Amino acid sequence: MTTVQATRSGDPGAPASPPPPRLTRRQRLSHWDYRFAPYLYVLPFFLVFLVVGIYPMVYSGYLSFFSWPRFGPSHGDSVGFANYAHVLQDPVFRKAFWNTIGIFLLSSVPQVITATVIAALLDTQLRGRTWWRMSVLLPFVVAPAATALIFGSLFADKTGLINEIIHTLGLPKVGWHSNRFASWTAIASMVNYRWTGYNTLIILAAMQAVDRQLYEAASIDGASRVQQFFHLTLPSISPTMLFVIITSTIGGLQIFTEPRLFDTNLQFQGGADYQYQTLTMYVFNTSNSSTDPYPRAAAATWIIVLIIVTIALINFGLTRLLQRRSER
Amino acid sequence: MRKPNIRRGAALGAAVALVAGTTVACGGSDSGASSSKLGKDDVLTITTFSDFGYDKLIDQWNADPDRPFTVKHTKIADWDPWKKTLTQELQAGHGLTDIVAVEGDAMPQFVSEGASDQFYDLADSSLDDRWVEYAYKAAQTADGKQIGYPTDVGPEAFCYRADLFKKAGLPSDREEVKSIFATWDSYFEAGKKLVAALPDTKWYDASGSIAQAMLNQTEFPFQTADNEVSIDNPEIQNVWDTVTAYSSTLSPQVVQWGEDWTANFRNDGFATMPCPGWMFSNVKSSAPDVKGWDIVDAFPGGGGNWGGSFLAVPTQSEHPEEAKEFAAWLTDKDQELAVFEAAGNYPANVAAEEDLAAKNATDPYFNNAPTAAILASRAAAVEPGHPYKGDKYSDILGLFQTAIQRVDEGSSPEDSWKTFEQAVGSLS
């Protein structure tokens, strides 16, 4: 109590106007509660984030400038940018980069479009709405490992169901694990299966928040359902679309579980010819390689961070640009 | 290489490993002082991969009221993911169980300088003559530190489908087929006849397993005696040329242990496969209803050893004495005999081998083949020290198998070899 009073009276910046009425203890407590409690509430998250998020990031950045022999108990001498040079010169890394971009485009683009269309369909007067809405989320509840195992046997090259069907139709079987584009498609279909429903629900929630009177007004003006969708729904939900696009960009660029469990190669290098090794798989494999495993993996991680930030910024810019256009 | 019978189990195994890993880590941090004595209900942990046949043994151990301590067993489906976890946690310095199973081909990298410091010395002069010498020596460092006890060895015989042989007009009797498996030339010639007669059946299970069989007969496939990496030698070139040449005709072009590979066991996809003892349980579980499997006491080009594993105790274990005691118990005669019974893994224990030979056990699944006698005779045909396994043997072998997979999937052998050379180059 006394200390608080001392600081208050000693405050040189105190206004010259008549001093504010002396607050009671209860009022002061409530004032502090108002000002500081929110920070207290979010503090646990940031403490955990500091330990499991920030610390590993900073440490991996530090590590990326050192050598560390395999099985060595601690890191060795500083090597400057040698680890970064190794990663950037590695043809496998470049291949992994293009694989990741390819799988990302094949998954995120159709995923967001399909999710928006399904959300628009669910945002109508359907019978058993809740049932329909919950069922689109069902694939999301399936564990990613289970999804990957199911799709792995669907897409098995010689005996998989999909190739059996293709074969019955008289077409040549597709090398789902050997052909680069086919493997991307197979992996993207796994990702889409899992995430479309999730994005649908987020977009649906945004659509339901749009004022219904606007639709009434639009129909009175003679706008068709399709016109309403493009000129009313889409612009109204654009902040949510931005969120969905950015999160699916980040998620898409970090894809790991699906290609890893899809892999038939025993070294898990993403297919015998690295056809579907993604950037995160590259990091994982590098951390097990025989020379400087951890520092090289750390360098690769930081390169990936830069790539993701760049692409997310480009995405953000493009989406904003399109939004401005449509608002005009 | 000792591999899984069920790939589907991989995910489950990984999950189990994760849970086990965290539990162990927690257990480690609160017990504090190193090498504290374990009580009857304190837990000693062990991790194995594929099928070591330990389930019953460990259940019996834990059921014994006079046991000195309790054992918790974690099983991982595949060697390759376990190799990654093992490597990572050795480097991290914690997280491993008290006893870890190590696959034979990877042993050289663990006995090499630096890595061997991560393991407890299990040397015990009273045990020196307990195991087959070449297996025991394989887990020894240059300065005589013993980092592992051999669990089994992998003398190779050939498994074949007698029914398909008969259909294709080949001899099918266990004695008569020996001429087919006499040399690699006679083996491939017979294969051409079989695939001509049976268009839906290939000659062997995978290009990779034939490559492995041929590699096991070479002397210096990937590294010279002083561990210099050298992949430009006639021995490996011969393996490469042979396997890639027959890829499109005799091989089903599938990856070992994969979905398609397992399916081929059931749909007459292939007729022969190299069969070390531990492969028996893989054949049985992949094709429980197929009749017609048999085993021949012959192997093209002499003999060969494929796989065989070790139990090791990492220095991060806080109970090295108990771990050593339990590892020694598991690799003693009676236990290795029980493992042979349960999983077919051929014992590395000399007394157990002699016992098996005397008992002359047969296996009804393989048309009553005298499995024990066959494996004993195959073990005698193994040339110890073939192939020489340097510190990078396991890594390069993985890349070599991948290079063969590329050819199976349609790459030209020249392109695939170039990628292989490049990948081997970036190992250093």
ipTM here: 0.74
Contact assignment for A273 to B409 by CB distance below 8 Å? yes
Reported confidence tier of residue A327, pLDDT bands at 50, 70, 90: low
- The whole-angstrom separation of Cα A184 and Cα A104 is 9
Of A71, A153, A156, the CB nearest to B91: A71
Within a 10 A sphere around the Cβ of B118, how many other Cβ atoms?
Answer: 20
Contacts of A149 in chain B (CB under 8 A): 8, 11
Q: Which residue has the higher pLDDT, A250 or B237?
A: B237
Question: Buried b / exposed e across A17-32, counting CB within 10 Å, b at 16+?
Answer: eeeeeeeeeeeeeeee
How much is the pLDDT for B36?
60
Reported confidence tier of residue A19, pLDDT bands at 50, 70, 90: low
pLDDT > 70? residue A300: yes
Contact assignment for B114 to A72 by CB distance below 8 Å? yes
Average pLDDT score over residue span B163-171: 95
Reported confidence tier of residue B6, pLDDT bands at 50, 70, 90: very low
Contact assignment for B409 to A261 by CB distance below 8 Å? no
Of A268, A287, A289, the CB nearest to B427: A289
pLDDT > 50? residue A6: no
Q: Are strands B99-103 and B152-153 parallel, antiparallel or unpaired?
A: unpaired
Contacts of B255 in chain A (CB under 8 A): 264-266
Average pLDDT score over residue span A219-236: 90
- The whole-angstrom separation of Cα B239 and Cα B368 is 33
Contact indicator for A269, A228 with CB cutoff of 8 Å? no
Verify cis geometry, omega within 30 degrees of 0, for the bond prior to B387: yes
Of B11, B255, B426, the CB nearest to A265: B255
Domain B9-154+307-359 and domain B156-302+377-425, same fold? Reply is: yes
pLDDT > 50? residue A117: yes
Contact assignment for A294 to B91 by CB distance below 8 Å? yes
pLDDT > 60? residue B13: no
- The whole-angstrom separation of Cα B7 and Cα B262 is 9
Among A47-56, A69-78, A170-179, B58-67, which stretch is predicted with the lowest mean pLDDT?
A69-78
Of A70, A264, A273, the CB nearest to B91: A70
Nearest residue of B to residue A177, measured between CA atoms:
B409
Average pLDDT score over residue span B239-247: 96
B357: which residues sit within 8 A by CB, 6+ positions away? B372, B373, B376
Within a 10 A sphere around the Cβ of A198, how many other Cβ atoms?
Answer: 19
Q: How many CB contacts within 8 angstroms connect chain A with chain B?
A: 99
Q: Closest Cα to residue B300, out of B187, B207, B191, B212?
A: B187
Reported confidence tier of residue B16, pLDDT bands at 50, 70, 90: very low
Return mean pLDDT, chain B.
Answer: 88
End-to-end Cα spacing for chain A:
58
Quote the radius of gyration of chain A (alpha carbons, Å).
Answer: 27
The tokens describing A324, both together, are: 């401005």
Interface test with chain B among A159, A177, A277, A292, by most B beta carbons within 10 Å: A159
Contacts of A289 in chain B (CB under 8 A): 426-427
- DSSP conformation class of B275: E
- The whole-angstrom separation of Cα A263 and Cα A202 is 31
Contacts of B420 in chain A (CB under 8 A): none
How much is the pLDDT for B12?
44
Output the DSSP codes for A133-154. HHHHHHHHHS-HHHHHHHHHHH
How much is the pLDDT for B34?
47
Q: Are strands B148-150 and B309-312 parallel, antiparallel or unpaired?
A: antiparallel
Q: Closest Cα to residue B54, out of B153, B152, B133?
A: B152
Q: Closest Cα to residue B390, out of B105, B186, B170, B131?
A: B105
* Amino acid at site B49: F
Contact indicator for B265, B290 with CB cutoff of 8 Å? yes
How much is the pLDDT for B322?
93
Contact indicator for B254, B423 with CB cutoff of 8 Å? no
Q: Which residues of A touch B (CB under 8 A)?
A: 69-73, 90-92, 145-146, 148-149, 152-153, 156-160, 175, 177-178, 261, 264-269, 272-273, 287-291, 293-294
Nearest 5°: phi and psi at A215? -65, -40
Q: Closest Cα to residue A91, out of A308, A301, A269?
A: A269
The tokens describing B125, both together, are: 């002069």
The tokens describing B65, both together, are: 């009221």
Contact assignment for B91 to A72 by CB distance below 8 Å? yes
How much is the pLDDT for B35?
52
Q: Closest Cα to residue B403, out of B272, B182, B240, B228?
A: B240
Query: Which neighbouring-strand residues pair with B49?
Result: B76
Residue-wise pLDDT for A75-97, tens only, equals: 888 999 999 999 999 999 999 99
Q: Which residue has the higher pLDDT, B359 or B306?
A: B306
Q: For the domain covering A84-327, report its CATH number.
A: 1.10.3720.10
Hey, is A54 helix, strand or coil?
helix
Within a 10 A sphere around the Cβ of B124, how many other Cβ atoms?
Answer: 12
C-alpha distances in Å from residue B95, one per residue of B163, B314, B321: 49, 10, 18
Alpha helices in B113-180 (DSSP H): 133-138, 162-167
Domain layout of chain B by residue ranges: 9-154+307-359, 156-302+377-425
Tell me the shortest Cα–Cα distance from A172 to chain B, in angstroms: 15
Of A149, A175, A288, the CB nearest to B87: A288
* Amino acid at site A62: Y
Q: Closest Cα to residue B106, out of B81, B76, B75?
A: B81
Share of chain A above pLDDT 90, in %: 48
Contact assignment for A71 to B118 by CB distance below 8 Å? yes
A101: which residues sit within 8 A by CB, 6+ positions away? none
Contacts of B395 in chain A (CB under 8 A): 290
Residue-wise pLDDT for A121-139, tens only, equals: 998 888 888 888 888 888 8
How much is the pLDDT for B128?
86
Nearest residue of A to residue B15, measured between CA atoms:
A145
pLDDT > 90? residue A28: no
Q: Are strands B156-161 and B70-76 parallel, antiparallel or unpaired?
A: unpaired
End-to-end Cα spacing for chain B:
23
Reported confidence tier of residue A21, pLDDT bands at 50, 70, 90: confident
pLDDT > 50? residue A232: yes
- The whole-angstrom separation of Cα B350 and Cα B127 is 11
Interface test with chain B among A158, A161, A258, A275, by most B beta carbons within 10 Å: A158
Quote the radius of gyration of chain B (alpha carbons, Å).
Answer: 21
Among A271-275, B82-86, B90-94, B347-351, which stretch is predicted with the lowest mean pLDDT?
B90-94
Share of chain B above pLDDT 70, in %: 92
CATH architecture entry for B9-154+307-359: 3-Layer(aba) Sandwich (3.40)
pLDDT > 80? residue B233: yes
Reported confidence tier of residue A36, pLDDT bands at 50, 70, 90: confident
The tokens describing B213, both together, are: 């069989």
- The whole-angstrom separation of Cα A103 and Cα A108 is 8
B410: which residues sit within 8 A by CB, 6+ positions away? A175, A178
Average pLDDT score over residue span A105-119: 93
Contacts of B425 in chain A (CB under 8 A): none
- The whole-angstrom separation of Cα B217 and Cα B183 is 12
Catalogue the E-assigned strands of B343-400: 346-347
Of B88, B109, B423, the CB nearest to A287: B88
Q: Is B202 left (phi over 0), alpha (psi -120 to 50) or beta?
A: beta
Contacts of A270 in chain B (CB under 8 A): none
- The whole-angstrom separation of Cα B20 and Cα B14 is 10
The tokens describing B340, both together, are: 């042979």
pLDDT > 80? residue A26: yes
Among A74-83, B200-209, B403-412, which stretch is predicted with the lowest mean pLDDT?
A74-83
Among A45-49, A273-277, A286-290, which stretch is predicted with the lowest mean pLDDT?
A286-290
Interface test with chain A among B255, B391, B400, by most A beta carbons within 10 Å: B255
Of A149, A153, A266, the CB nearest to B255: A266
Of A72, A272, A290, the CB nearest to B427: A290
Reported confidence tier of residue B33, pLDDT bands at 50, 70, 90: very low
Contact indicator for B351, B130 with CB cutoff of 8 Å? yes
User: H-helix or E-strand containing B102?
Assistant: strand B99-103
Contact assignment for A156 to B410 by CB distance below 8 Å? no
- DSSP conformation class of A51: I
Using CA atoms of A10, A12, A13, A17 in order, give the dihedral in degrees to the nearest 10.
Answer: 80
Contact assignment for B259 to A156 by CB distance below 8 Å? yes
Contacts of B411 in chain A (CB under 8 A): 272-273
Contact assignment for A145 to B11 by CB distance below 8 Å? yes
Catalogue the E-assigned strands of A237-324: none
CATH fold of B156-302+377-425, please? D-Maltodextrin-Binding Protein; domain 2 (3.40.190)
Of B90, B267, B398, the CB nearest to A71: B90
